[in-house]
Amino acid sequence: MKVLVTGGTGYIGSHTVIELQQAGYEVIIIDNLSNSNIEVLDGIHKITGQYPIFEKFDICNSQDCNNFFSKYKGITAVIHFAAYKAVGESVEKPLMYYYNNLVSLLNLLDKILSHNINYLVYSSSCTVYGQPESLPVAENAPVQEAKSPYGNTKQISEEIIKDTIHANKKISCISLRYFNPIGAHPNGFIGELPIGEPNNLVPYITQTAYGIREYLRVFGNNYNTHDGTCIRDYIDVVDLSKAHIAALQRMLVHKNINNFEVFNLGAGKGYSVMEVVQCFEKVTGIRLKYKILNRRPGDIERVYADPQKANARLNWKATTSLDNSLLSAWNWEKYYRKKLNC
Ligand code: NAD
Ligand code: WQD
């Protein structure tokens, strides 16, 4: 069965391609490499023994999309990862984010309709919940006004997909709201490749440990939490990837018709920034340099998932410990840096 993975050379996409191949799916990737590297395909090949089909173009280009869908017939489902994802950059360059994340989706939905593809898995985010009133946050919690253009593109995208399904009775979509994805493949050949200075906590920690950053900036220790630092639900990227296969299978097995479903993908447990730092130090034996700085504007104090719906209906559960996720992230940092110096 052929599955199209947009953004398939990116961080979560590449891990999902591996799970798809290992589950026997034939994978076709579209990626314009705006935030990833072609060598990711070699990493995938090293792990699975197979190269996915790869087409490099921008999904915002409608003609390129037409050419693609004329070339590849018989695609059963699409997993749509391709998007820009840096929250801060989206505040600086809102139009770039609205254009890329929304035009790509509009194009893709148009082609999905005209080529009779019925199943879509969409990459959404816990950012749609903002600071939830009660925790853990379940799928029925209200979507709050977005704090950034990036977050808004996720909310608007879900609305666009819902309306499209409403008007086209054969299509179904599962929208997966990720909490904080971390870690790398345990085989060590693929992982996260942040360009420039990382925004996210774990790549900042591994780069600091490697000596690329002088120290970790801990953004605020005066929050109303047990140690004053913010709390997040860190979900291992391999666990997260497996949920995409579960979502696909749910739609295929149930012959899901005309359905829009949302699932939270988190471990269901919150860790503070300092707990992540301490855990990293414990599993690696490295003492991490850090400084407490002011709060980062826009940060939410605490958020973690109620993943029970995904546990029950997708038959999926996050199983990787924070220890093992941080270890795989660290192993990937070392592997990748050595490779760069070769
Ligand atoms: P990523 O940047 O590593 O991967 C996205 C991929 O899409 C990149 O390879 C990029 O080159 C490609 N891409 C972007 N725009 C494109 C376009 N117009 N045409 C073709 N290719 C394009 O990001 P990721 O962390 O793997 O995230 C994947 C998805 O998950 C995104 O939609 C993101 O918003 C969502 N998400 C990510 C996180 C996170 O923390 N990583 C959390 C929640 C949701
Ligand atoms: C986690 C915690 C920081 C870096 C972002 C997006 C969200 C989603 C996931 C896409 C916070 C602290 C961080 C650093 C720090 N992405 N921190 N020093 O902000 O929870 O979520 O990624 O959908 O939409 O907003 O993740 O990893 O940036 O931060 O102290 O150098 O680590 O303040 O408390 P965040 P993060």
Does residue 255 have a pLDDT over 80?
Answer: no
CA distances from 338 to 117, 191, 331, 334 (A): 42, 14, 11, 6
Q: Judge whether 119 counts as a catalytic residue.
A: no
Pick the ligand that lies closest to the CA of residue 151.
2
Q: Give the gyration radius of the chain's Cα atoms.
A: 19
Concatenated DSSP letters of 94-105: HHHHHIIIIIHH
Q: What is the pTM of this model?
A: 0.98
d(CA 278, CA 226) in angstroms, rounded, equals 15
d(CA 306, CA 300) in angstroms, rounded, equals 17
Residue 341 confidence (pLDDT): 81
Query: Relative to the CA of 198, which ligand 2 atom is closest?
Result: 31
Q: Compute the mean pLDDT over every residue in the chain, rounded to the nearest whole number.
A: 96
Does residue 257 have a pLDDT over 80?
Answer: no
**Residues 292, 342: contact at Cβ < 8 Å?**
no
**Smallest CA separation from ligand 2 atom 17, residue:** 201
Query: Relative to the CA of 85, which ligand 1 atom is closest?
Result: 34
d(CA 322, CA 271) in angstroms, rounded, equals 9
Query: Relative to the CA of 103, which ligand 1 atom is closest?
Result: 18
Of the residues 84, 119, 129, 150, only one is catalytic, namely 150
CA 201 – ligand 2 centroid, Å: 6
Structure tokens at 159: 């609305």
Residue 118 confidence (pLDDT): 95
**Ligand 1 pocket: which of 4, 6, 11 to mutate (most atoms <8 Å of CB)?**
11
Pick from 137, 95, 181, 148: nearest CA to 297? 148
Q: Does residue 232's CB lie within 6 angstroms of at least one atom of ligand 2?
A: yes
d(CA 72, CA 1) in angstroms, rounded, equals 12
Pick the ligand that lies closest to the CA of residue 203.
2
Concatenated DSSP letters of 45-83: HHHHS-PPEEE---TT-HHHHHHHHHHS--EEEEEE--S
**Ligand 2 pocket: which of 156, 180, 224, 302 to mutate (most atoms <8 Å of CB)?**
180
CA 82 – ligand 1 centroid, Å: 5
Does residue 203 have a pLDDT over 90?
Answer: yes
d(CA 284, CA 327) in angstroms, rounded, equals 7
Does residue 194 have a pLDDT over 90?
Answer: no
d(CA 135, CA 121) in angstroms, rounded, equals 26
pLDDT digits (tens, 9 = 90+) for 298-315: 999 999 999 999 999 999
**Smallest CA separation from ligand 1 atom 4, residue:** 10
Q: Does residue 185's CB lie within 6 angstroms of at least one atom of ligand 2?
A: no
